[in-house]
């Protein structure tokens, strides 16, 4: 398996194969347009646990179990798990994996974690350090609200630019050998901060990072948006998606209808009153593992860019009046090796 | 460059080279036994910034700058930075690197972050995905105290088993070509939780993870403690260090005097009143980059195991009466390729 680095993009030939994938979601995710694509929907926000934080770990645990089972594998077949989430000290993944016979690399890229995990994992597999890996990420609306914003019982009003943190986890198993889809390109993002300070408008804060990474991807690979059947950022929502489409269009990259965002796919914004759209590390992870990879398997798309974005702020930095740094890691999936 | 996986251990032949390293610390670190080995000591706990969280970012920023300068490199010479810290949402690293021309992979393994970064980095370099990388980690006593425990002005009494979070950052540059020392083996840890619930006794909580990883390292490589000049965990402190020495001794691995811990090296426990010793992601990172790599360069040790440990708890999980999962990632440094 060869790896070539052009600019910031690593190309794999043949591509690293997706072996299996699974997504688990909550009630709102089940009622959304992708509801029927999830492997499991649990309408209990506690997932049978005592706290929402434990429930988030349970989401990851179930997603990993489902992905292993669908792939006919056990934990022993996987060399390492790369995982992350939004909870302080990333306890979602750590508690999901405690006392499991699995080597673990903990990641943090906020809502871009699934992109970071897929990019690193593909590089580790193509280079020979791992044979098979699991990549996963999660978020939980109730745990995120009380950690980042307000306790839920306050019933705080949400701003029109706000996004809805998904209660979901996605897990994707990658390996050197398999029947695809194949991960053919990966790029790790730079941290871009254009000075946005409104923590209720993450789409605007993250859009510049998406533009930086997508532009580098197109330029380094010598491709244009029309060479892909689908380009999906995540989770910029309506506002961030439109900023990316607008600014990249001015630079000559016409994204048009082939471009959408995980935060727009997961929910019906109007019917479900989701304001600017979905967000959370579990949003892009579950949209990939419930919908995008399945669609590639069914031949709906032959080549797609998956480019999750993350806002790297904390409540502390917001209180300290800092602006919001963001990152976007991207990978290309192809039906062909 | 070849990679071979035996059990859970990845062996690099020839080894991945250390290109440069630097450590920056605060006043207490300057007054400790390793003070003169640091590249920079800043006695101002704010490092000229307005908050302790900003000061922690500044520690990372200065450590990276110093490591690049000592290695005769610029940011453009490095393919990616792997970084992490203890602050919520890992803002220490993210803010240190915003708007820098550097691809970033955010990590979280609590105080074991430097070990995770070195292990992943070596695998990525040996596999060909990166040519050169920077690995760094930080912690800040004042930022950690108010986030994990109590606001400093409360003057809370510390338990005898408690450790002192280091105000420090270490940065290590790795590359395919160089004059060493060389990173020859790496192992990513599993998450081990033996049921310890006392968040003021991290040494006891983390010791089982260190035992799990060190045992796997010795068994998979067919080596014994006597094959190494120095074995350093971090940051178990006095209590955790003694548990590891005791239990591994009973299993036939006599660690004796060649075994110590970063939390015991960084401070003079008695004179500086550090209770069980030092801790924090910046403790093992700075001990490595101030003292251990320098000692290898000077021929003091020919082969050493660096095995940072991390407690993967959060204040929230402690309030929820959870026990403490822990992880230990280990790498072997050798003077020979």
Task: Check: CB of residue A73 under 8 Å from CB of residue A21.
Answer: no
Q: Which long-range contacts (CB under 8 A, 24 or more apart) does B317-323 make?
A: B317/A53, B317/A91, B317/A95, B318/B197, B318/B199, B320/A50, B320/A51, B320/A53, B320/A54, B321/B197, B322/A95, B322/B197, B323/B193, B323/B194, B323/B195, B323/B196, B323/B197, B323/B205
Exposure letters B29-56 (e unless 16+ CB within 10 A, then b): bbebebbebbbbbbeebebeeebbbbbb
Residues of B in contact with A106 (CB under 8 A): 84, 107-109, 116, 312, 327
Of the pLDDT bands very low, low, confident and very high (cuts 50, 70, 90), residue A109 is: very high
Q: Do B10 and A129 touch (CB under 8 A)?
A: yes
Q: What is the pLDDT of residues A195-212, one digit of tens each?
A: 999 999 999 999 999 999
Q: What is the pLDDT of residue B308?
A: 98
Instruction: Report how far residue B311's alpha carbon sits from residue B294's, in angstroms, rounded to the nearest whole number.
Output: 27
Q: What is the pLDDT of residue B195?
A: 97
| Domain A13-175 is found in CATH 3.40.47.40 | yes
Q: What is the pLDDT of residues A143-155, one digit of tens each?
A: 999 999 989 988 8
- How far apart are the two ends of chain B, measured CA to CA in Å? 11
The superfamily (CATH) of domain B182-334 is Stage V sporulation protein AD (3.40.47.40)
pTM, full prediction: 0.98
Our measurement of the distance from residue A320's CA atom to the centroid of its chain's CA atoms, rounded to an integer in Å, reads: 28
Is residue A16 less than 8 Å (CB to CB) from chain B?
A: no
**Mutate which of A191, A196, A327 to test chain B, going by most B C-beta atoms within 10 A?**
A191
Shortest CA distance to B310 belongs to which of B161, B25, B35, B114?
Answer: B114
Residues of B in contact with A316 (CB under 8 A): 53, 87-88, 91, 147
What angle, rounded to 10 degrees, do the helices at A202-221 and A237-250 form?
40
- Provide the percentage of residues in chain A whose pLDDT is more than 90: 96
Q: What is the pLDDT of residues B200-224, one digit of tens each?
A: 999 999 999 999 999 999 999 999 9
Residues of A in contact with B98 (CB under 8 A): 191-193, 312, 325
Q: What is the pLDDT of residue B1?
A: 82
Q: State the average pLDDT for chain B.
A: 97
Of the pLDDT bands very low, low, confident and very high (cuts 50, 70, 90), residue B192 is: very high
Q: What is the pLDDT of residue B83?
A: 98
Q: What is the pLDDT of residues B99-111, one digit of tens each?
A: 999 999 999 999 9
Q: What is the pLDDT of residue B187?
A: 98
SS (H, E, C) chain A: CEEEEECCEEEEEEEEEEEEEEEEECHHHHHCCCHHHCCEECCCCCCCCCCHHHHHHHHHHHHHHHHHHHCCCCHHHCCEEEEEECCHHHHHHHHHCCCCCCEEEEECCHHHHHHHHHHHHHHHHHHCCCCEEEEEEEECHHHHHHHHCCCHHHCCCCCCCCCEECCEEEEEEEECCCCCCEEEEEECCECECCCCCCCCCHHHHHHHHHHHHHHHHHHHHCCCHHHCCEEEEECCHHHHHHHHHHHHHHCCCCCHHHEEEHHHHCCCCCCCCCCCCEECHHHHHHHHHHHHHHHHHCCCCCEEEEEEEEECCCHHHHHCCCCCCEEECEEEEECCC
Of the pLDDT bands very low, low, confident and very high (cuts 50, 70, 90), residue B91 is: very high
Q: What is the pLDDT of residue B155?
A: 87
For B15-175, give the CATH class.
alpha beta
pLDDT at A289 over 90: yes
Torsion of CA B103, A306, A17, B126, to 10 degrees: 0
pLDDT at A1 over 90: no
Of the pLDDT bands very low, low, confident and very high (cuts 50, 70, 90), residue A103 is: very high
Is residue B191 less than 8 Å (CB to CB) from chain A?
A: yes
Instruction: Report how far residue A92's alpha carbon sits from residue B331's, in angstroms, rounded to the nearest whole number.
Output: 26
- Chain B, 108-137: which have a CB under 8 Å from a chain A CB? 108-110, 116, 119-120, 123-124, 126-131
pLDDT (average), residues A55-69:
98
Task: Check: CB of residue B76 under 8 Å from CB of residue B102.
Answer: no
- Chains A & B: contacts with CB separation below 8 Å: 194
Q: Which long-range contacts (CB under 8 A, 24 or more apart) does A54-58 make?
A: A54/A95, A54/B320, A55/A140, A55/A142, A55/A143, A56/A85, A56/A87, A56/A92, A56/A138, A56/A139, A56/A140, A56/A143, A56/A169, A57/A91, A57/A92, A57/A93, A57/A95, A57/A96, A58/A96
DSSP string, B28-88: HHHHSTTGGGSSEE---TTTTSSSHHHHHHHHHHHHHHHHHHHTT--GGG-SEEEEEESSG
Q: What is the pLDDT of residues B263-272, one digit of tens each?
A: 999 999 989 9
pLDDT at A219 over 90: yes
Q: What is the pLDDT of residue B326?
A: 98
Residues of B in contact with A101 (CB under 8 A): 190
Q: What is the pLDDT of residue A323?
A: 97
Q: State the average pLDDT for chain A.
A: 97
Q: What is the pLDDT of residues A149-187, one digit of tens each?
A: 989 988 888 899 999 999 999 999 999 999 999 999 999
Is residue B77 less than 8 Å (CB to CB) from chain A?
A: no
pLDDT at A337 over 90: no
- ipTM computed for the complex: 0.97
pLDDT (average), residues B81-99:
97
Residues 6+ apart with CB under 8 A from B181: B17, B18, B293, B296, B297, B333, B334, B335
Which element (helix H / strand E) includes B266?
none
Tokens of B230: 């120095």
How far does the CA of residue B312 sit from the closest CA of chain A (Å)?
A: 6
Q: Do A120 and B116 touch (CB under 8 A)?
A: no
Q: Do B317 and A53 touch (CB under 8 A)?
A: yes
Residues of A in contact with B124 (CB under 8 A): 120, 123-124, 127, 129
In this complex, the residue of B80, B100, B312 whose CB is nearest that of residue A94 is B312
Paired strand residues for A3: A12
How do the domains of chain A map onto residue ranges? 13-175, 182-334
**Mutate which of B103, B187, B202, B320 to test chain A, going by most A C-beta atoms within 10 A?**
B103
Q: Within a 13 Å sphere around the CA of B8, how many CA atoms are in the beta-carbon half? A: 25
Q: What is the pLDDT of residue B337?
A: 86
Assess whether the region A13-175 and the region A182-334 belong to the same CATH fold: yes
Q: What is the pLDDT of residue A197?
A: 96
Q: What is the pLDDT of residues B25-60, one digit of tens each?
A: 999 999 999 999 999 999 999 999 999 999 999 999
Shortest CA distance to B262 belongs to which of B146, B150, B139?
Answer: B139
């Amino acid at each position: 398996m060869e790896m070539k680095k052009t600019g910031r993009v690593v190309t794999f030939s043949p591509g690293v194969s997706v072996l299996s994938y699974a997504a688990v979601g909550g009630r709102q995710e089940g009622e959304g347009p992708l509801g029927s694509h999830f492997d499991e929907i649990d309408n209990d926000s506690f997932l049978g646990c005592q706290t929402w934080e434990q429930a988030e770990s349970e989401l990851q645990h179930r997603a990993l179990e489902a992905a292993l089972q669908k792939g006919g594998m056990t934990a022993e077949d996987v060399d390492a798990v790369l995982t992350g989430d939004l909870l302080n000290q990333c306890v979602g993944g750590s508690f999901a994996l405690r006392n499991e016979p699995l080597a673990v690399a903990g990641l943090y890229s906020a809502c871009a974690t699934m992109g970071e995990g897929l990019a690193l994992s593909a590089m580790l597999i193509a280079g020979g350090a791992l044979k098979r890996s699991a990549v996963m990420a999660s978020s939980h609306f109730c745990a995120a609200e009380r950690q980042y914003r307000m306790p839920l019982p306050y019933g705080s009003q949400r701003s029109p630019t706000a996004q809805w943190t998904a209660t979901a986890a996605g897990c994707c198993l990658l390996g050197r050998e398999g029947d695809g889809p194949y991960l053919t390109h990966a790029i790790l993002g730079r941290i871009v901060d254009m000075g946005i300070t409104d923590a209720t408008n993450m789409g605007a804060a993250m859009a510049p990072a998406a533009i930086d990474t997508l532009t580098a991807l197109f330029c380094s690979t010598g491709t244009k948006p029309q060479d892909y059947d689908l380009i999906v950022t995540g989770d910029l929502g309506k506002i961030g998606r439109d900023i990316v489409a607008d600014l990249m269009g001015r630079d000559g990259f016409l994204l048009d209808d082939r471009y959408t965002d995980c935060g727009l796919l997961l929910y019906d914004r109007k019917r479900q009153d989701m304001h600017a759209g979905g967000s959370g590390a579990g949003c892009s992870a579950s949209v990939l593992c419930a919908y995008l990879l399945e669609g590639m398997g069914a031949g709906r798309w032959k080549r797609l860019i998956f480019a999750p974005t993350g806002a790297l702020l904390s409540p502390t930095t917001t209180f300290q009046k800092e602006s919001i740094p963001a990152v976007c890691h991207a990978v290309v999936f192809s039906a062909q090796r």
